[in-house]
Amino acid sequence: MHVVVPDLFLPQAVAADACAELQLPALEKLLARARPELLHADTLEAWLCAAFGVEGQAIAAVTLRADGMEPGNSCWLRADPVHLRIQREQLVLQPGVSLNADEATQLCASLNAHFSEEGLHFFAPHPQRWYLQLDAEPDMQTSPLAQVAGKNVHAHLPQGRDALRWHGIFNEIQMLFHEHAVNRAREARGELPINSVWLWGGGRATGGLARPFAMIYGESALVEAFAHGAGISCAVLPHDVRGCLGNGSGDALLAWEGLRRAIQHGDLYAWRTSLQHFEQCCAVPLLEALRAGRIAQLTLDVPSGGGARRFVVTRAAAWKLWRQSRPIAHYALV
């Protein structure tokens, strides 16, 4: 069983208070008895690309295919609709602002009309997932939307030789959307306007994805898209992982994103709740399964920008009772 849990560890500045009085005996035993290794993935997006053999972080082509369009030979960027709010002289990206298909179609049509002479073509096969088609791949590095959610966007704007051009496009889109009829109607209904798009995940489609797992359990369109691209069955994250054990040969992947969503919204209470749920429905049954020999090995990956880590626990290691457990705050990010 391979488990990936973004944002399991918090920065030292908040870890002690956020983790106070949490009861996580199974998880803490697994971490204490594991063989720790460095993990070269600072986000779930980077982790998925590495695991499935996607060059760089060309995620747009992967999710585009899952959304029913073929990427062909073009370069694609995700161009997801977002709301930016002014907060203490910062532009903060607010995640999870919903819109319907008609609104997405109208906004994309305006983008295409405005940027037609620049060879930019926008598509919205899903209201929340927009795409930008380019003939040539720009020389720039972008940040995944999930990494920027709830943060000041200026620290995460594209970097690289072509970045300044895209900073200008970013500003043009904000001006184009400022008085758009779709947004006037949304504000009249008390809804947040879609006042920008976030560009990320660029690159060209590669061949078939690697198949590192026999089965995948997740709860996001992103994980499902990678499963779809690799031709791997993907099921909804179960309430209790006991139902995942012994369901065939080969490694299974379980992607737990509840902690990540809580951090994106700046909600430490939700983070604690999700972590307690992880303890009961994942850590406890996985420790039991290791000791009973129903799984041979557990690999727990924690993508993080402050020190990503991997923990590998074998059946033999699960019985090393002399390895003293440490509270989860012990693993805080420096």
Residues 183-228: tens digit of each pLDDT: 999 999 999 999 999 999 999 988 789 999 999 999 999 999 999 9
Q: How far apart are CA 266 and CA 130, in angstroms?
A: 25
Q: Considering only CA atoms, which of 12, 187, 14 is closest in space to residue 85?
A: 187
For tokens 């399964």, name the residue: 289
**Which residues touch 72 (CB under 8 Å, ≥6 apart)?**
205
pLDDT bracket for residue 247 (50, 70, 90): low
* Residue of higher predicted confidence among 159 and 57: 159
Q: Considering only CA atoms, which of 33, 58, 36, 55 is closest in space to residue 307?
A: 36
pLDDT bracket for residue 81 (50, 70, 90): very high
- Dihedral of the CA atoms 281, 53, 129, 139 (nearest 10)? 140
pLDDT at 125 over 70: yes
Mean pLDDT value across residues 82-102: 91
Structure tokens, 284: 């406890």
Q: Considering only CA atoms, which of 320, 324, 254 is closest in space to residue 283?
A: 254
pLDDT at 248 over 70: no
What integer pLDDT is reported at residue 334 of this predicted model? Answer: 67
What integer pLDDT is reported at residue 174 of this predicted model? Answer: 96
Q: Which amino acid is at 38?
A: L
What integer pLDDT is reported at residue 190 of this predicted model? Answer: 96
Three-class secondary structure assignment of 314-333: EHHHHCCCCCCCCCHHHHCE
Mean pLDDT value across residues 41-55: 94
Q: Considering only CA atoms, which of 282, 328, 285, 291 is closest in space to residue 313?
A: 291
Domains of the chain: 2-53+209-331 (3.40.720.10), 59-204 (no CATH)
Q: Which amino acid is at 244?
A: C
Displacement of CA 51 from its chain's centroid (Å): 14
Mean pLDDT value across residues 295-302: 95
Helix locations, 115-255, DSSP H: 145-148, 163-178, 181-188, 221-230
Cα-trace Rg, the chain? 21
Length of the chain in residues, anyone? 334
Judged by phi (left if over 0) then psi (alpha if -120 to 50, else beta), residue 21 lies in left
Q: Which amino acid is at 128?
A: Q
pLDDT in tens, 136-188: 999 999 999 999 999 999 999 999 999 999 999 999 999 999 999 999 999 99
- 93 forms bridges with which residues in the sheet? 84
In the sheet that holds 252-255, the strands lie side by side as 35-38, 309-314, 297-302, 2-4, 252-255, 215-218, 234-236
- 200 forms bridges with which residues in the sheet? 78
Environment class of residue 297 by beta-carbon count within 10 Å: exposed (0-12), middle (13-18) or buried (19+)?
middle
pLDDT at 74 over 70: yes
pLDDT bracket for residue 129 (50, 70, 90): very high
Q: Considering only CA atoms, which of 65, 172, 66, 70 is closest in space to residue 120?
A: 172
pLDDT at 31 over 90: yes
Q: How far apart are CA 308 and CA 206, in angstroms?
A: 26
pLDDT at 307 over 90: no
Mean pLDDT value across residues 114-126: 95
Mean pLDDT value across residues 56-63: 94
Structure tokens, 272: 């604690």
- Dihedral of the CA atoms 39, 41, 43, 46 (nearest 10)? -140
- 123 forms bridges with which residues in the sheet? 131
pLDDT bracket for residue 120 (50, 70, 90): very high
